[in-house]
Amino acid sequence: MQDRPLSELTPDQLAAEALAALEATADSQALEGWHIAYLGRKGRVTQLIRRVGELPREERPAFGQRANQIREELEAAYDRQAQHLRSLEMEKALAEGALDVTLPGRPVARGRLHPSTQILRRIAAIWADMGFQVYRSRDVETDEYNFQLLNFPPHHPAREMQDSFYTTQEGVLLRTHTSPGQIHAMRDYCPQPIRVILPGMCYRYEQITARSEIQFHQVEGLAVGRNIRFTDLKGTLTDFAQRMFGAGRKTRFRASYFPFTEPSAEMDVECILCNGRGCRLCKYTGWLEILGCGMVHPVVLQNGGYDPSVFSGYAFGMGPERVIMLRHSIEDIRYFWGNDLRFLEQF
């Protein structure tokens, strides 16, 4: 740019000076500076136009007309130079940022299976190896299937163990356990023998604590056939425990009570943390409770369509989340439904 005073320049001389300065701009920043210096509110062309009032009256029309023409010409030249510089800058950016397609790509973070899903698949795989197939049953049940057909008549005291979520439709509720699936399975397969597991979500109206949730998974198991005995149940569950927790793991059965099995038992495994010596996890007993089981009650067999004088069977039920908590020393069941990635990514 030239620093000659405007008073010494004609409109054509100022146009030549501006075009020369415009041609010398090498980037967008310099171009913006040029626009301010010549075409801005205090630019040299604007000041030139304002000089019209200082000229003699007869010279004003020609001078003003020429000054406005110069302004239009410089605006057009500015637009052309701006487009030219943008093209140059884009070419430079493309050249400097060229992508080498032979380089290895950035790894994409992969999702993970929820720990409950992982243990459900592990449990299903073990039982599949032992000849059991998966049978799915519904989450919304009737009081008849959830309680009555399982030997829970109305006002039975055992119902108090399972506070329920009832719907607005009378006698319809969210299942409190997967055991109603036993009746569905027996009625579907009767009179054929059965070996099924029934995984699914259960719902109970309980206070949420570190040890209890309003929803949780269960895996029910059912075997019905001729001459099935309690020793078959013990042998099968012991084999499952050793496949799940390790070969040679000790087990024990304790007498218990469930309305739909008789006799009933609870199964414990040797503590996986202290190997039976006693620790905080097993409450210094050396044993961990993992499931309940028993021989199917004759009334339940009959409700499923089987003749209890000919057929017998066993059933068991376990909580997958409890198995994970035992295997990984997790102390709060709420972690499973909290969606905290710091917890979930550990699996």
- Strand pairing of 251-258 and 165-166? unpaired
pLDDT at residue 127 in the model? 96
| Beta carbons of 21 and 35 less than 8 angstroms apart | no
- Angle, nearest 10°, between helix axes 11-23 and 60-96? 0
Please tell me the predicted confidence (pLDDT) of residue 1: 46
313: DSSP letter: E
Contact call for residues 20 and 12 (beta carbons, < 8 A): no
CATH for the stretch 115-344: 3.30.930.10
Cα–Cα distance, 3 to 72 (Å, whole number): 22
Contact 317, 291 (CB under 8 A): yes
pLDDT of residue 187: 95
Across the strands, what pairs with 294? Answer: 264, 315
Residue 45: which of 80, 69, 81 has the closest Cα? 69
Q: What is the spatial distance between Cα 237 and Cα 222, in angstroms, rounded to a whole number?
A: 12
Q: Is 347 helix (H, G, I), strand (E, B) or coil?
A: coil
Walking along the chain (347 residues) 10 residues at a time, the average pLDDT comes out as 63 81 85 84 79 75 80 87 87 74 82 89 95 94 90 71 78 90 94 94 83 86 95 95 88 92 92 77 82 95 94 94 81 84 85
